[in-house]
Amino acid sequence: MGKEIAFELATSNLRFGRGVTREVGMDLADLGARRVMVLTDPVVARLAPVATALESLEREGLDYALFDRVRTEPTLVSWQEAIAFASEGDFDAYLAVGGGSTIDTAKAANLYATYPPGDFFDYVNPPIGRGLPPPGPLKPLVAVPTTAGTGSETTGVAIFDHVAMHAKTGIAHRRLKPTLGILDPENIRTLPPAVAAATGLDVLSHAVESYTAIPYQERPLPERPVLRPAYQGSNPISDVWALEALRMVARYLVRAVEDPDDEEARGQMLLAAAYAGMGFGNAGVHLPHGMSYPVSGMVRDWRPPGYAVQHPLIPHGVSVILNAPAAFRFTAAASPERHLKAAEALGADVSRADGADAGRILADCITDFMKRLGVPNGLEAVGYRRQDIPALVEGTLPQRRVLSISPRPAGPEELAQIFEEAMRAW
């Protein structure tokens, strides 16, 4: 099999503007919807974005049923509960109002209710599942993010926690992409600062990882276009979105966290999340995300300040950024120019930098954001110890989809060293 000859841009339609949530009923009606499954989580269900969306459906006379039991950081069980609701509801469209957990759950509900597989893991990424592509187009899905981070409204990726394996996995295919992403700055006005910080740091890592991923030409050529992966490596189009997302993070992230009333900063971070989503949704993410999945999945009793959760939780953006400085110090040797360019986009002065310093400069830049935003100082601060490293490595190795596009290959020994360095960030 030869090397890849093409890259493909695929993304959701996006609409940005204050108050556009009030238009979702018209959008779904125009898409031919008659009965809509509305997904959200128990916290967002009580807030204005859901009320606004439901009022919009009612104005158009659309029948709907509300599923408000999405779990923050979804599990296999919580996915299956939503899928059962979707399968029994005779829905012809979906509306997700919430963070990445809600949008990912909606993608899964849509896929499994539309094309029930012979086995649940048929669609799940290898090696845990078979990685089969969806047999055809899915039903319309409108995604209304209420956080500024995951970019799930732009991507064909959905992630869940496989509790039995103490690791995260998911499904990735272009057909999972929402039909329309609604970017409404009004929906993140009440986002708690801690959540704004974690999701904003996810934006940062999304963009750096997609920009520094292996070039698309280094992947194998698929047998058929439909088998071309969602994560195809860095390419000229994803590079544009990733770098601009980093520039926006540099300008607006700290402002958006420190002053929730800064409407400009919050709106721009919502856009930055979508920009980064268009970057990584086509290029992919690599080591920081691959390593984050066992960090989230193996959490013992740590609960993040500022989050309204009743169970131990390491927010996704936190689990990613805790690994990022050490991971980028490791990968920089493979593409120092790109690592320096990413650091420059984040505000670092690289005019006199040497390629050998690229990893340190980028890592220091990210660490500065972590300090400013009150992120725990490394994996030790969220309950991990060095004796956990073998299990963390074991939980990372199945993440072939992302490990395969790391600019520098990382096997068990390399991953163990990166986790060792990530125990303390500074």
State whether 149 and 231 are in the same domain: no
Residue 1 covered by a domain:
no
pLDDT of 75 higher than 90: yes
The rounded Cα 56 to chain-centroid distance in angstroms is 27
State whether 57 and 154 are in the same domain: yes
pLDDT of 309 higher than 80: no
Contacts of 374 (CB under 8 A, 6+ apart): 194, 197
Domain that holds residue 151: 13-188
Q: Alpha-carbon distance 260 to 163, whole Å?
A: 34
State whether 177 and 198 are in the same domain: no
pLDDT of 390-414, one tens digit each?
A: 999 999 998 888 999 999 999 999 9
Phi, psi of 420 (to 5 degrees): -60, -45
pLDDT band (50, 70, 90) for residue 168:
confident
State whether 94 and 223 are in the same domain: no
**Looking at residue 404, which CATH number applies to its domain?**
1.20.1090.10
Q: Of 167, 188, 209, which residue is a domain's last?
A: 188
Beta carbons of 339 and 359 less than 8 angstroms apart: yes
Residue 8 covered by a domain:
no
The rounded Cα 8 to chain-centroid distance in angstroms is 19
State whether 184 and 197 are in the same domain: no
pLDDT of 187-208, one tens digit each?
A: 998 899 999 999 999 999 999 9
Q: What is the pTM of this model?
A: 0.93
Order of strands, sheet of 93-98, starting from the edge strand that comes earlier in the sequence: 13-16, 180-183, 141-145, 93-98, 35-39, 63-67
Q: Alpha-carbon distance 179 to 195, whole Å?
A: 26
pLDDT of 115-162, one tens digit each?
A: 999 999 999 988 889 999 999 999 999 999 999 988 999 999 999 988
Residue 2 covered by a domain:
no
Say how many domains are in the chain: 2
Angle at 175 between CA 172 and CA 176, to 5 degrees: 60
State whether 261 and 398 are in the same domain: yes
Contacts of 395 (CB under 8 A, 6+ apart): 165, 166, 167, 293, 294, 297, 298
pLDDT band (50, 70, 90) for residue 72:
confident
State whether 131 and 210 are in the same domain: no
193 DSSP assignment: H
Residue 223 covered by a domain:
yes
Residue 324 covered by a domain:
yes
Phi, psi of 262 (to 5 degrees): -80, 90
pLDDT of 331-388, one tens digit each?
A: 999 999 999 999 999 999 999 999 999 999 999 999 999 999 999 999 999 999 999 9
Residue 46: Cβ within 10 Å count: 11
**Looking at residue 121, which CATH number applies to its domain?**
3.40.50.1970
State whether 184 and 330 are in the same domain: no
Q: Alpha-carbon distance 421 to 174, whole Å?
A: 35
